[in-house]
Amino acid sequence: MRSFTAMVGALVLAAAAFADDIVTMPTANQLKAREVDVAAYYLDLKMPSGAPQFVHYQTLYLGLTDRVELDFHRADVNRDAESVVTVLSLKLAAEGPQTPDVVVGVRNIFGEPTTLHPDFRSRTKRTSVYASAAKTYFLREGVQGPPLARVHLGVGTEDWTLLNEKRHEGPFGGVQMLIVPTVGAVVQWDGQDWITALTYMPPRSGITIKGGTYGDHRWYGVALRKQL
């Protein structure tokens, strides 16, 4: 029990690294009660001339209880629509020494259309559901802290809310790593694209600076997490 308590303490210290670094893929990372995470992203799109060239994306995550989280994802797509997608998630099981965190969720609860394109507008209004599990592994024997890895595996129904592309249908997942207390790395597959990231967390700031690749595109972001 002492070992697991130490592990929980290490995870609390690493919470910023295990925030939702990539907003397009659901994970079992869940805020605690009264925790707030706010973030802003810029997606630099590699698209044909005439298509959207960038996306301004903001997120607000609210820990309503230790098991219930409410999220808002606002996207302002160049040459396309501005929208807000609402996500509600519920933690079914907390991580233990041998068991993972397990979370279920619903994306786009209110059926918000996220594009003006007539061929895709009705698809983007669809509500999707998912289940995701995550387990943390320490990579140095006997050391309850970095370097560590958090392995994600999820399954869901189709989600068309970003760039008119189908994501999260069937299996998806990835790995988040905390290399040292201030630096992390991410590799994920969301069912459509491979996603990578590097993260940096200035000590005792609650801030995470991050960026990486998203399929053929690049993205950059900054997040702030606080306990109310």
In this structure, the number of other CB atoms found within 10 A of the CB of residue 16 comes to 24
Q: What is the CATH number of the domain that holds 166?
A: 2.40.160.40
Domain range enclosing 44: 2-227
Taking only the tens place, the pLDDT of each residue in 94-145 is 999 999 999 999 999 999 999 999 999 999 999 999 999 999 999 988 777 8
pLDDT at 171: 97
Largest distance between two CA atoms of the chain: 59
At 98, list the tokens. Answer: 């041998």
Q: Which residue has the tokens 């994600």?
A: 152
- Residues in the chain predicted with pLDDT less than 70, given as ranges, are 1-23
Torsion angle in degrees (nearest 10) through CA of 214, 77, 110, 189? -10
Helices (H), 35-135: 121-124
Q: How many domains does the chain have?
A: 1
In this structure, the number of other CB atoms found within 10 A of the CB of residue 5 comes to 10
pLDDT at 43: 96
